[in-house]
Structure formats: structure tokens, C-alpha cells
Amino acid sequence: MERTLSIIKPDATLRNITGKVNAMIEDAGLKIVAQKRIRLTKEQAEEFYDVHKDKVFFPNLVEFMTSGPVVVQVLEADNAVELYRKIMGATNPAVAEEGTIRKTYALSIDKNTVHGSDSLENAKREIEFFFSHVEIDH
């Protein structure tokens, strides 16, 4: 069993579709083993997306991720990291595959509904960023 970190982004909480996204996650065989709705501070968003700090879209990304509440979640399955990336679809919904979360719900390349860890190593870091062991070790 593997775990990955998911974030349902502000465009989705704003449209009240977090349940619809969760249904797609569960239908794909991923189990939501921890979940909470929070509002990120600017500092937290900057730290979480530190890897992108030199990109032109970084200020916009931080502004968007702090523009409303997010739902952070830990997902569990065999091969969870790769499986979730697959069902999320491409970063840009215009080129995402049919049936993926982003193709179905994303509004644009920035308002793209979900985040998912891109490696097992980053999943571990990202889960520890948001969750303490008492919230997930069950």
C-alpha cells in the first residue's frame, strides 16, 4: 500500500464540488484515509510550492491557492502516487484525457481543481507538511 497527498483546490471548494471530486477518487480505487478543509496562509502556500518559486506563474499560484479554502487529503492504494496522477489528468485541462478529474472539472491551467504528489518521496514530504501521525496512522 502506498499513500499520496491530494489537495482539492479553491476553484472546487468555491463551486461546492468537493464531493463530486471525492467520488471520482473513490471510484478509481483510492481510499481517503485522512482529510481536512483548511485555508492556507501566504507563507504556507509559498513553502508548499517552494519547488516552483522561480517560475513566472508562482505569484499567481500562491494567490490562487490562498484565495479560498482547500481540502487536503491522504489517499491510499497500490501505486497511489501514479494512479492519482493518472486520474487527475494533465496540468492543462485543455489537453487532459477524457474522464480525468481535470478534464471533467478544471477551469484553466491554473484553476485546475486538484493537486497530487508527483513522486513517492514528495508524497512523504507533502503528507508530513499537512498531517501529524495521530491523524493518519490507523
Minimal CB distance residue for Mg ion: 118
Report the residue number, 7 or 34, with the smaller CB distance to ligand ADP.
7
Q: Is 57 in the site for ligand ADP (CB under 6 A)?
A: yes
The amino acid sitting at 71 is: V
Q: Of residues 67-126, which lie at the interface with ligand ADP (CB under 6 A)?
A: 91, 109-110, 112, 115, 118
Stretch that binds Mg ion, among 9-17, 31-39, 81-89, 110-118 (CB under 5 A): 110-118
Judge whether 138 counts as a catalytic residue.
Answer: no
Q: Which three cell numbers stand for residue 31?
A: 481510499
Report the residue number, 23 or 128, with the smaller CB distance to Mg ion.
128
Judged on CB neighbours under 10 Å (0-12, 13-18, 19+), 56 is: exposed
Concatenated DSSP letters of 7-47: EE-HHHHHTT-HHHHHHHHHHTT-EEEEEEEE---HHHHHH
Give the residue numbers annotated as catalytic, written as ranges. Answer: 115
